[in-house]
Amino acid sequence: MLFQNPTFLGAVASTLLLSTSFVQGVCLHNHGRNLQAGPGSVPISNFSYIGVTGPLGWAGLNTANVKCSTANVQSPINIEHDVVPLSKTHPQLSIPNVKSAEFENLGSTVEVMINGTTIFEGKTYSLKQYHFHTPAEHLIDAQFYPMEVHFVNIASDGSILVLAAIFELSLTGTNTNLLDPLSAPLLTITEPGSSTTTGPLSFSDITNFFNTVPLFKYTGSLTTPPCTDGVIFLVADTFLPISPKAFLEFKSVLKFNARYVQNAPGEENLIEVAAGQLPK
């Protein structure tokens, strides 16, 4: 468990540590994120997507975020079909169905707390949550898409595997059933720091999706502070449908939470590129 700001966290720990969802959240998805006290039991991320607390200012929020502005392997990227290879093997993702799950608004995203396991290339990862970005963070062949979901998996050695799927708007109103049971509870957690409980969630379709569709594979980073690099990304090369209604609902709550597209993996961090072009 990484805390970037132990002093501040200490101040809110007395209430937060009573919350199981907090413990789950920080241990996995909040891997090193700065946190602030929310109005309820849910910690709010201290970074944003606008201005000096936005992606160009993330490194200034905490020295632990230095990779956001200096690492040469960062996510998201523009995934070109003729550049980024498909994974030769599939993950084995398993998520037990649940009768209900914690659903939290962290300010920077909304996420569903669940337990699962992913086996990929011989390594076993734990899955604790999935969350959403709108618009999608990755571009595909230079095009943007309305939304993206990230299933963040962490192995016992700390290595991170993100299973990502990108949504495209459906003209027929079709909506991926991953989203359907979230629509009603989503509208009760519009306030950052708020949380609610979902109804029953079934994961057979989404696990079957990741376990069978072609997946781009590349090594990138967390797309949020501290921008930890060395993260394996498996991004589905098949879109999930999102209905116009669901898109507007998610957008009204998430508002805008996509990091700008980073330089190609291995190329100089774009903040260093931009800094090098400033007048002397």
Q: Which residues sit at the interface with a second copy, rule CB under 8 A? A: 49-52, 54-57, 59-60, 66, 69-70, 78, 134-135, 139, 141-144, 168-171, 244-245, 247-248, 251-252, 255-256, 260-261, 263-264, 267, 270-279
Nearer to a second copy, 205 or 267 (CB): 267
Q: What share of the chain is helix, strand, coil (3-state, %, to 5)?
A: 25, 30, 45
Q: How far is the CB of 46 from a second copy (least distance, A)?
A: 15
Output the smallest distance, CB 58 to a second copy, in A.
Answer: 9
Question: Shortest approach of a second copy to residue 271 CB, angstroms?
Answer: 5
Question: CA-CA distance, 239 to 245, in Å (whole number)?
Answer: 17
Tell me if residue 226 falls in helix, strand or coil.
coil
Closer Cβ to a second copy, 128 or 133, answer by number: 133
The phi, psi pair for 89, rounded to 5°, reads -125, 160
Residue with smaller CB distance to a second copy, 108 or 207: 108
Helix/strand number for the chain, H first, E second:
8, 14
- Give min distance, CB of 192 to a second copy, in A: 11
Nearer to a second copy, 56 or 213 (CB): 56
3-state secondary structure of 7: helix
- To 5 degrees, how large is the angle CA 6–CA 11–CA 17? 85
Name the residue nearer to a second copy (CB basis): 52 or 86: 52
Diameter over CA atoms, the chain: 60
| Nearer CB in complex with a second copy: 102/229 | 229
For residue 25, the minimal CB distance to a second copy (Å) is: 22
Query: Which tokens go with 213?
Result: 């569709």
Q: Smallest distance from the beta carbon of 197 to a second copy, in angstroms?
A: 26
The distance of closest approach from Cβ of residue 107 to a second copy in the complex, given in angstroms and rounded to an integer, is 11
Helix (H) or strand (E) holding 271: helix 270-276
Nearer to a second copy, 67 or 128 (CB): 67
Long-range contacts of 182-191 (CB under 8 A, 24+ apart): 182/103, 182/112, 183/245, 183/246, 183/249, 185/103, 186/103, 186/110, 186/249, 186/250, 186/253, 187/249, 187/253, 189/103, 189/104, 189/105, 189/110, 189/253, 190/105, 190/252, 190/253, 191/39, 191/105
